[in-house]
Copies of this chain bind each other. A is one copy, B any other.
Amino acid sequence: MAARRTAAHCPAPGIGSSDGCIASGASRPMEPIVPPTERTRLRRLHERGHYDRATIHGILDAQPLAFVGWVVDGRPVVTPTLQWREGDRVYWHGSSASRALRHQDGQEVCLTVAILDGFVLARSGFHHSVNYRSVMLFGRAFRVADPEEKRERLRQFIERLFPGRYATLRADRPQELKATTVLGMEIGEASAKIRSGPPKDEEEDYALPIWAGVLPVRMVTGEPEADPRGLAGLEPPEYVRSFRLG
């Protein structure tokens, strides 16, 4: 996978790359962006929309839990799964017998992740909200067919969550790789949406004696729970003890 390009490597818009670059304001450098499309451009609350790869990648990397939308018989299905990002692609996987994966292969999907950052309590019901970071990706899912590439993608999945673990595991067996389907999609049509900060009330409502503010929410890990069948004397590895989500 290509390393993320910096502003210095950013070509002129539309040249030599599927992602353009824009100058998004006098105070910001040129940034690689995913050009907004009819589907991804925010029509309302424009200030919440982000199309730069750094923001989109950051949210994908912070939230493995993804929701993949697909269509069967003209009707929508949303399947929760874990995703991981490698460069400008995201991947997800499951059993080769999975109905969802078989239907998604080669088809249009929408992959969405969202992180709930807090409840926003305003002085009227109308202005209650949530702080969040979300990403929507549109595109066609492709299947990783080559067994060795599949093995490498699955290795990356584990390594991105738990660096160093894969090499310590019992090796993958050919029949296990065969029983696993890995799908991917390009981050080619995508947008991020972010809300942060305190409530935004009607000007006259700030005088009301109502507590308002944000109740922050975050995901945390608890104490590692060793497998009751685990061998004596094995301690949780450092990558488990220092694991952080978000």
Contacts and interface: CB of A to CB of B under 8 A. Distances in A.
Given A39-B77, A220-B220, A121 B225 contact: no
A158 interface: yes
B65 A116 contact: yes
A128 interface: yes
A111 B80 CA distance: 11
A68 B78 contact: yes
A236 interface: yes
A76 B82 contact: no
Contact of A99 (B43, B111, B134): B43
Interface residues of A, number: 95
Interface in A110-139: 110-112, 114, 116, 118-119, 121, 123-126, 128, 130, 132, 134, 136, 138
Given A78-B68, A116-B219, A215-B243, A173 B126 contact: yes
A117 to B, nearest CB: 10
Nearest to A198: B227
A9 interface: no
What is the total number of copies of this protein in its complex? 2
Nearest to A207: B231
A158 B127 CA distance: 11
Given A125-B172, A218-B222, A76 B69 contact: yes
22 contacts: A43-B99, A44-B97, A65-B114, A67-B114, A71-B76, A78-B110, A79-B112, A80-B114, A123-B169, A124-B169, A125-B154, A126-B176, A126-B179, A126-B180, A170-B202, A170-B205, A199-B227, A211-B235, A211-B237, A215-B221, A215-B222, A218-B220
Interface of A: 39, 43-44, 64-65, 67-71, 74-80, 82, 95, 97-99, 108-112, 114, 116, 118-119, 121, 123-126, 128, 130, 132, 134, 136, 138, 154-155, 158, 161-162, 165-166, 168-173, 176, 179-180, 198-199, 202, 205-231, 234-237, 240, 243, 245
